[in-house]
């Protein structure tokens, strides 16, 4: 199971989610709360929660597989290409 930390209007986040969907891989999206209007059907996290999960995070998306950090979109692309 993949976890994608994202934020609204993030093209790299959208690409990561689209790539996972194209491969029929299940993922959970956790959206960084940046003061946006909330959709009750989605899950939101604070910056503190993101930094707890990925202490060195400087950008999004941050993608994990089974709790292990993969990295960003290009890291996900590389990993899926090698599988």
Please tell me the predicted confidence (pLDDT) of residue 81.
Answer: 93
How far is 44 from 82, CA to CA, in rounded Å? 31
Neighbours of 50 (CB within 10 A): 18
The enclosing domain of 44 has a CATH number of: 3.40.30.10
- Quick: pLDDT tens for 25-40: 999 999 999 889 999 9
Q: Which domain holds residue 73?
A: 2-82
Q: Across residues 8-32, what is the average pLDDT?
A: 97
User: Mean per-residue pLDDT for 12-24?
Assistant: 98
Question: How many domains, the chain?
Answer: 1
Averaged pLDDT of the chain = 96
* pLDDT tens, position by position, 41-65: 999 999 999 999 999 999 999 999 9
């Amino acid at each position: 199971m993949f976890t994608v930390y994202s934020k609204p209007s993030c093209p790299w986040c959208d690409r990561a989610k689209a790539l996972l969907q194209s491969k029929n891989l299940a993922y959970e999206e956790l959206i960084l709360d940046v003061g946006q209007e909330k959709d009750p059907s989605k899950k939101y996290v604070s910056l503190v929660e993101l930094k707890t999960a990925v202490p060195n995070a400087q950008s999004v998306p941050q993608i994990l597989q089974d709790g292990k950090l993969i990295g960003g979109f290009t890291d996900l692309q590389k990993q899926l290409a090698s599988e």
